[in-house]
Amino acid sequence: MNRPRLGDALCADPAGTVGFFLCRAGQHLRAAAIEGPRAEARLLLGQAMGVAPDALLRDIRAAVPPEAAARFTDLLKRRLDGEPMAHLLGHRGFWTLDLAVSPATLIPRPDSETLIEAALDAFPDRQASLRVLDLGTGTGALLLAVLAEYPRGFGIGVDLVPEAAALARANAARNRLADRAAFLAGDWAAAIRGRFDLVLSNPPYIESGAIPALMPEVARFEPASALDGGPDGLDAYRRLAAVLPELLMPSGWAILELGAGQEDAVAALAHAAGLEPGPARADLGGIARALALQAPP
C-alpha cells in the first residue's frame, strides 16, 4: 500500500494550521517555478512564526497565530514577486559565517567560496599574520571568511556604498571578528595606503547588456553597481590591474572572482600589469571562478 506523500498529507490539514499554510504556500511556489517549494515554504513560515523551519513538522496541526499568518502572507507575496529568500530572512550563510544581508549589497553565494579555497592554497600557514584587503567588500563575506581561517590576520574592507560598509562592519561584530577588521566607504584603492599580503575582490563583471536577462531576483533586487562590469564585463578588472601592483607586498597574492569565460582576458590584463596569473580555480559547477595573481618578489 502506498503511503501518502508529506505534501498530500499537509493539504488535508484544517485551515489555519501549520500544515494548511505549508501546503498552500508550496502550491503557489511550485506554480511560480521556484525551486524547492516545500523547503522554501518552511523557511517562510518559520520566519513568520519565529521558529526553526524543521520544528514546524513536529506538529503540523498546530494553529498559526493571526499575526504570524499575516507576516507569512506578506513574506510569501514578496517571494512570489521574485524577492530573494536571503532578503526575506535577513541573513545568509557563507563559508563558516552567518551574514546579515540587505538590498545595498550582493547576496553572498557559494561560488565565491572558491576564492577562500584559493587563499588557503596561497597561504598554507594558518598562523600567518596576514594583512588582507577586500575591494568591493559588500557584506564583508570574503574578508571575514579569510580572517576566520587566520586568527592572527587583520584586514580592511572597502566599498563605494556607505550602507554596505556599515553592514560589513556589523557582520564583523556578528561573527566576533570586529577586533581584526576595519571597513571604509571609499572608491576602492583611492581610500587605501600601504601594501597587503592578500587582496581579494569580487568585482562587478556582468556585461551591461546582459543584466536585464539575469534571473529576476538578481536583476531587480540586487544593486546594479555590484553587477555591471561595462560593455564587455571587464571594466572593473582594468581598474584592478592598474592598482594591484601598488597594493601588494612583494610575492603577495591577489585573488579575483571571475565571470564565466573571463579567465583568459583577466589573466592577460594582470600579466600586462606585471602580475603572474596562476591557473584559475573552478567552482562546483566547473566554471573558472577564482583567479590568483602573484606580485613579483
Q: Give the Cα separation of 124 and 122 in Å (integer).
A: 6
Q: What is the pLDDT along the chain (297 residues), one digit of tens a residue?
A: 333 344 444 565 567 899 999 999 999 999 999 999 999 999 999 999 999 998 888 888 899 999 999 999 999 999 999 999 999 999 999 999 999 999 999 999 999 999 999 999 999 999 999 999 999 999 999 999 999 999 999 999 999 999 999 999 999 999 999 999 999 999 887 878 899 999 999 999 999 999 888 887 888 888 888 888 999 999 999 999 999 999 999 999 999 999 999 999 999 999 999 999 998 999 999 999 999 999 999
CATH 3.40.50.150 fits 89-294, yes or no: yes
Query: Would you kindly state where each structural domain of the chain is located, as residue ranges?
Result: 6-81, 89-294
Annotated binding site, which residues? 136-140, 159, 188, 202-205
Q: Which of 85, 92, 14 is nearest to 45 (CA)?
A: 85
State the pLDDT at residue 234.
96
State the pLDDT at residue 11.
63
Amino acid in the structure at residue 239:
R
Report the topology of domain 6-81: Helicase, Ruva Protein; domain 3 (1.10.8)
State the pLDDT at residue 14.
65
Asked whether this chain's domains 6-81 and 89-294 adopt the same fold, the reply is no
Annotated binding site for S-adenosyl-L-methionine, which residues? 136-140, 159, 188, 202
Annotated binding site for substrate, which residues? 202-205
Task: Enter the pTM of the model.
Answer: 0.90
